[in-house]
Amino acid sequence: MSVEIKNDFGQIDISNDVIAQIAGGAAIECYGIVGMASKHQIRDGLTDILRKENFAKGVIIRQTAEDLHIDMYIIVSYGTKISEVAYQVQSKVKYTINKTLGMSVKSVNIFVQGVRVMNV
């Protein structure tokens, strides 16, 4: 599926994978995030942290009429306040999608799939 944007010059189709990559990249930059997790935790394994090229497996993009909804599956760092990390991810993803694609995001739903100790 893709998101369609129509303007005076024609139509632009943006793949959901592109939006997922942008959202995943924005989430990883937030403090307290260890990585992205798979949305299919039983099939793919609970311990897998997705690499940059697989962010689309941890992000679901849904579009209804003019609204864009994003579901993200993340793994947070041990010792961080989960609610604060989730809020920062929501804010960063909304801002990045708006600035990069010019689209407004109605909701960013965060699903914490695990807590990990960061190796320093």
Domains of the chain: 2-116 (3.30.70.1350)
End-to-end CA distance of the chain: 39
Residue 85 has pLDDT above 90, yes or no: yes
Helical packing angle, 82-101 and 16-28, nearest 10°: 130
pLDDT number for residue 107 = 95
pLDDT number for residue 102 = 85
Regarding pTM above 0.75, the answer is: yes
Residue 42 has pLDDT above 80, yes or no: no
Place of tokens 């929501």: 90
